[in-house]
Structure 1
Amino acid sequence: MKINSELLKKLVDIYSPSGDEENICSFIKNEIKDYVDEINIDNLGNLIARKKGNGKKIMIASHMDQIGLMITNIEKEGFLRFTNIGGIDPHISLGQKVIFKDGTIGVIDYEETSDITKLKLENMYIDIGVSSKEEAEKVINIGDSCVYYNTYLEDDNRIISGALDDRIGCYISIETIKNLKNIENDLYFVFTVQEELGLRGAKTSAYSINPDLGIAVDITGSGDTPGAKKFAIELGKGASIKVKDKGIVVHPKVKKLMINTAKKHNIPYQLEIFEYGSTDSGAIHLTRGGVPSGVISVPTRYAHSPNETIYKKDVVSCIELLTKLLEKNIEI
């Protein structure tokens, strides 16, 4: 299976910070409309695509949003102050280019009087190349958002890009939708909003769907770089099957189902215990009376940076695992 580089590049290049997912939603809707039976966009902006079946109701969640910055103040010299949208690291952000929805480009820097070893967002600013507040206000308003300026790179093994969290999950869901032909389960592919702000889209969509099983598709970290904390996930070793993170302990039956499916079809996989974050599964499994849920993740280096790095063969393993899970009747 080859990676559809053209599709993935389009996905990561679409501006879509949390709370402003309209463009990516429209693109995905157009990409999958001929492969599903129903498409609905709910009140919060989640894109819900159904492939009808008579078996268990399965919800597959991939989030459309990306981390970003929101303008809080414009200084008299035209420099922009900002707050975070999701998990923004000040040191990663220093010196980075950002892009606003209208295409305006800025550069992030910091007050030289502040201690760079204790850098905080409140000591940083965005320079958009103007010399006054009046000039800045012609293009930027309080509340406008921006994201890291993205450069997509690909070689024989790797993909390096911003916004792979979680456009790679969206890509895996899209390719799985296209792969599935005759299905037995009743499948709800949900492309969620505002995951980076607290799994908000997953909460509302899971409540309305009321699934029998939930599967989130997202990225995870890796423990294979110099000095990394011990973490049994490596790039190039296959799909990550989650056991636990800060938001969920995966239901034993779901974990067993994923492992057995991977073994049966000779799909490379790794078991993941992630200590730092959560995915949409954290909201799905607590819906109503509870939903057995799990996660398929792509091992990733340099998460929440403009240079998130993944291996293509891990993406292929994730697509194969998700496809094989969904094409047969599931009993949980």
Structure 2
Amino acid sequence: MKNLIKEIVETFGPSGREDDIREKIAGYMKAYVDEIKQDSMGNLICIKKGKGPKIMVAAHMDEIGVITTHITKKGFLRFSSVGGVSPVRCLYQRVVFENGVKGVIGTEPVDKLSKLDFDKLFIDIGAKDREEAQKMIKEGTFGAFTNQYDELNDLMVAKSMDDRIGCAVAIKAAEKLKKTDNEIYFVFTTQEEVGLRGAKVSAYNLEPDLGIAIDVTGSGDTPEAPKMPMKLRNGVAIKVKDSSVLVPKKVKDFFIQVAEKNHIDYQLEVLQYGGTDAGAINLTKSGIMAGVLSIPTRYIHSVSEVLAESDVKATVTLLTKILESDIKNLI
């Protein structure tokens, strides 16, 4: 599990440029499914065929990133965000661009961090001037933050845990899934960070009977954290609501029933902000039932997102048991 997580969190793949991570995930999934295909949005769809109801498991493979907008006379890059990037969290971070060029994010002088915005930030790629920089980077080039996987006691830390950890959960569930009558679509979606775009397209095309998003969620266990029930090391989080979806009661209750039957540690997720692919799946066509299994995570949308190995394992087990279950009465 840890080797898998390390490999995929360190792979390049900001929204709209998921080619490398898609290839990496496909390499893992080919041993566990009957068919793999890619749609026009770049979603990776891995199918385990069956004659029963259709279940779509959605984990987004894109990460937050940057895009170059202008090159100054002195060879520094101005840039904009791709997804939910905070200017403060950008300070002095390293980035790598899709062509392999690397850089460090710097800032013009500001007297207060509250005044820091993207107009004050720039990327230093070591160029002497604009002419040299333009040979290295063009306007419109995508970049991603860089940081290595590491461990803090029983916790794991890396960039892009959001949502490569969901991808790892889906891969391990596919590996563990031995027999089911359900037809399972493991969908590794694109462009979630810029508006759940990949999930909208794939759900419309597949029209599953049940959608399950696998994603991270916030935690309320750090000093003076926002008051929320989710905590690291307390098990898989079964979502009740976020800003994109109100999980149907029967779906939430079914997930709880499966967790309790199999003695899987779980907690309830009530998130007052954010959303997941389930929000897009739920609103597809005439409506599709959707739920979410989440991994509580600290410092989301930073280069050091932290989560617990035990919560990841609980999520893998619960997802596997749900996929093995008879869901005919649920739908």
Give the TM-score category using the shorter length. Answer: over 0.9
Q: 1:302 aligns with which of 292, 299, 303?
A: 299
Q: 1:242 aligns with which of 239, 244, 255?
A: 239
Deviates more, 1:95-104 or 1:321-330: 95-104
**Corresponding residue pairs, total:** 329
Q: Distance in 1 between matches of 2:20 and 2:106?
A: 28
Which residue matches 2:251? 254
Which residue matches 1:90? 87
Q: Which amino acid aligns with 1:55?
A: G
Q: SS at the partner of 2:226?
A: coil
Matched, 1:32 2:33: no
Which residue matches 2:76? 79
Deviates more, 1:125-134 or 1:194-203: 125-134
- Conserved? CA contact 2:58–2:189, under 8 Å: yes
Matched, 1:324 2:317: no
**Deviation at 1:115?**
4.2
1:1-332 aligned within 5 A: 4-113=1-110, 115-331=112-328, 332=330
Q: Which amino acid aligns with 2:243?
A: K
Superposed CA offset, 1:254-276 (max 9, x none): 10110101111110111011112
- Conserved? CA contact 2:110–2:116, under 8 Å: no
What is the identity percentage for the equivalent residue pairs of Structure 1 and Structure 2?
Answer: 48
Q: SS at the partner of 1:138?
A: helix
Superposed CA offset, 1:135-158 (max 9, x none): 111111100011111111025411
Q: Distance in 1 between matches of 2:326 and 2:47?
A: 16
Q: SS at the partner of 1:282?
A: helix
- Conserved? CA contact 1:114–1:123, under 8 Å: no
Q: Distance in 1 between matches of 2:47 and 2:110?
A: 55
Q: Which amino acid aligns with 2:237?
A: S
Superposed CA offset, 1:218-245 (max 9, x none): 0000000001111000000000000000
The TM-score with structure 1 as length reference comes to 0.97
Superposed CA offset, 1:153-176 (max 9, x none): 025411100010000000000000
Structure 2: gaps spanning 5 or more residues: none
Superposed CA offset, 1:30-77 (max 9, x none): 111121011110011000011111211100000010000000000000
Q: Distance in 2 between matches of 1:122 and 1:326?
A: 47
Measured on the aligned residues, the alpha-carbon RMSD in Å equals 1.0
Q: Distance in 2 between matches of 1:118 and 1:234?
A: 32
Q: Distance in 2 between matches of 1:115 and 1:237?
A: 38
Stretches (4+) displaced over 3 A: none
Structure 1: gaps spanning 5 or more residues: none
The TM-score with structure 2 as length reference comes to 0.98
Q: Distance in 2 between matches of 1:52 and 1:330?
A: 16
Q: Distance in 2 between matches of 1:204 and 1:291?
A: 13
- Conserved? CA contact 1:39–1:48, under 8 Å: yes
Q: Taking structure 1 as reference, are residues 114 and 144 closer, same or farther at Cα in structure 2, changes over 3 Å only?
A: farther
Q: Which amino acid aligns with 1:23?
A: D
